[in-house]
Amino acid sequence: MTVTWRSSASEALLDDAATVIPGGVNTCRRRSEPRRCFRRGAGAYLWDLEDRRYIDFHAAYGAVFLGHSHPAVTARVARAIEETVLFGVGVTEAEVALARKLVDHVPCADQVVVCNSGSEATYHAIRLARGATGRERIVKFQGCYNGFHDYVLRNVLSPAELVGGRDPQSKGMLEAAIDATSVCRFNDLDDVEATVARYPDEIAAIILEPIAHNAPGIMPRPGFLAGLRALCDREGIVLVFDEVITGFRHGLGGYQAIAGVTPDLTTLGKAIANGFPLAAVAGRRELMERFTTNEAGDVHFGGTYNGNAVAVEAGLATIELLEDGRVHEHVFALGERMRAGLAEIAARAGIAAYVGGYGSLFVLCFMDGPLERYEDVLRNDTALFLRYRRELVARGVFEMPESLGRSHIGASHTGDDVDRALEVAEVALAAALEAGARAA
Ligand SMILES: Cc1ncc(COP(=O)(O)O)c(C=O)c1O
């Protein structure tokens, strides 16, 4: 079957955009091949500029969980903004209602503050940990992404020669900030212990995605999260779970509720507001009260747009729609179906493959399992992965064509969408393998 790779309207728009926006896009990872722009989204689907329909598993990097432009969410936002957008003083009843919901649902949350992006949330959480402990060093994990700021923007998808080494992701980062962040191996408590021993009384925080979904789905080994908890308790280190992906998507209490391990602080974002810009820092009262939102606080917390009505109402509407548990039941079941189906397809194709993911997330990696350490990721056949993703896009299944990108199921996907995606996956994989064989 011949498929259309090109979207000439998308290409023209991106080319035009590049005259006024560097590279034509407003965040670096939106540049992808094949080049696509979308005009419209509804539920599980996107329509490109030629009005071709795609089943969307990109879901704006997982921010869209209930479906594009979910009517209950958009209607609530629209109603609210007739009278409220932003006052910039005091608090609104909606902000208090949202904070109550987060405190009720998230185990570590005695108190909560909201901001606008996951990067802001991790930035504030780390500064709070530093302020509260009087220490500077932090620990992150190879393969985890915790936001774009200098404290954490290192050692994400590192190439083999830089794994665990010094791998900042950008020019312009403060050298001191890079070096104040130690990088440990996910799932390796001994490595974390050794780092803590190397810097006695210097580590303010250990921050991690409790499931390393950016890598692209390394599950914590039994005992890993609890081991970190015990280590942090022993050493007076603030444990931060970055639940920007796992929070709300895996359950209202985040992965901490599922794992039964409660961090000191947690950062939330993405699925919390179904695509609207809402994020949060939540945690233990004695830490949270250090924020200067509190009169006696000494750790700055500010932001002109924090608590704006658009974000807050979207958050409230989203959380209310998740509260009866049916969405999570639905997406977990579809996730299982998708992962099992992909494993069967790979087995029929007779190739090395590992299907990762958890709950509503899935990723087909072209390598033998297991996926337990960042080093495992390096076995993935990146060229095949990208070819496969491009073949999917060309056939109307949108999974981001970028190395090791995870894919997302949401409330509006149906069993038929998953089955259709699996049919397409089988054809796309065959086409990708054939193209690879021709190129060899
Ligand atoms: C685990 C995690 N933390 C933090 C962030 C940063 O969030 P944002 O892009 O909203 O700044 C991301 C974004 O992908 C993420 O995946």
| 324 classed as catalytic | no
Q: Is the CB of 146 under 6 A from ligand 1?
A: yes
The contacts of residue 432 (CB under 8 Å, 6+ apart) are: 384, 387, 388, 390, 391
CB 229 within 8 A of CB 193: no
Task: Please write the tens of the pLDDT for every residue from 314-332.
Answer: 999 999 999 999 999 999 9
| Residue in 144, 240, 244 to alter for ligand 1 test, most ligand atoms within 8 A of Cβ | 244
Q: Give the H/E segment covering residue 140.
A: strand 137-141
Q: What is the dihedral of CA 269, 274, 277, 279, to 10 degrees?
A: -20
Residue written as token pair 């009087």: 134
Q: How far apart are CA 50 and CA 384, in angstroms?
A: 27
For 187, the 3-state DSSP assignment is coil
* b/e code 129-156 from CB counts within 10 Å (16+ = b): bbbbbebebbbbbbbbbbbbebbbbbbb
Q: pLDDT (tens digit, 9 = 90+) per residue, 158-177?
A: 999 999 999 999 999 999 99
CB of residue 243 inside a 6 A radius of ligand 1:
no
Arithmetic mean of pLDDT, 233-250 = 98
Paired strand residues for 140:
183
| pLDDT at residue 436, as a whole number | 85
Instruction: Report which residue type is found at 354.
Output: Y
* pLDDT tens-digit readout, 116-144: 999 999 999 999 999 999 999 999 999 99
Distance of CA 158 from the midpoint of ligand 1 (Å): 17
Q: Quick check: is 140 catalytic? A: no
**Count of beta carbons in the 10 Å neighbourhood of residue 222:** 9
Contact status, residue 62 vs residue 217, Cβ threshold 8 Å: no
Does residue 214 have its Cβ closer than 6 Å to ligand 1?
yes
Q: Is the CB of residue 118 below 6 angstroms from any atom belonging to ligand 1?
A: yes
pLDDT band of 1, cuts 50, 70, 90: low
Residue 2 is predicted with a pLDDT of: 55
DSSP 283-337: E-HHHHTTBTTSTT--B----TTTT-HHHHHHHHHHHHHHTTSHHHHHHHHHHHH
pLDDT band at 439, cuts 50/70/90?
confident
Contact at 8 Å (CB) between 103 and 111?
yes
**Ramachandran region, residue 421 (left: φ > 0; alpha: ψ -120 to 50; beta: rest):** alpha
143 lines ligand 1 (CB under 6 A): no
199 annotated active-site: no
The angle formed by the CA atoms of residues 138, 108 and 188, to the nearest 5 degrees, is: 45
- What is the rounded average pLDDT for all residues in the chain? 97
Cα–Cα separations (whole angstroms), residue 101 to 90, 98, 316, 360: 19, 5, 8, 22
pTM of the model: 0.98
Two tokens at 122? Answer: 């991790």
Indicate the burial class of 388 (C-beta count within 10 angstroms; 0-12, 13-18, 19 or more). buried
Kindly tell me the sign of the dihedral angle through the C-alpha atoms of 271, 358, 419, 378.
positive
Best residue among 146, 154, 256 to mutate for probing ligand 1, ranked by most atoms within 8 Å of CB? 146
Contact of 106 with 268, CB cutoff 8 Å: yes
Q: How confident is the model over 322-380, as pLDDT tens digits? A: 999 999 999 999 999 999 999 999 999 999 999 999 999 999 999 999 999 999 999 99
Q: What are phi and psi of 426, to 5 degrees?
A: -65, -45
What is the band of 5 on the pLDDT scale with cuts at 50, 70, 90?
confident
Å from CA of 119 to ligand 1 middle: 6
> What pLDDT is stored for residue 440 in this prediction?
81
Contact 283, 102 (CB under 8 A): no
Q: What is the Å distance from ligand 1's center to 245 Cα? A: 7
* DSSP letters for 103-125: HHH-TT-SEEEEESSHHHHHHHH
pLDDT band at 15 (very low <50, low <70, confident <90, very high): very high
Task: For the chain, give percent helix, strand, coil, nearest 5.
Answer: 40, 15, 45
**Burial class, 162, CB count within 10 angstroms (exposed 0-12 / middle 13-18 / buried 19+):** middle
**Helix axis angle, 309-322 to 326-349, nearest 10°:** 80
Q: Is the pLDDT of residue 293 over 60?
A: yes
For residue 228, pLDDT beyond 80: yes
Query: Helices (H), strands (E): how many in the chain?
Result: 15, 14
Give me the residues paired with residue 241 across strands.
208, 266
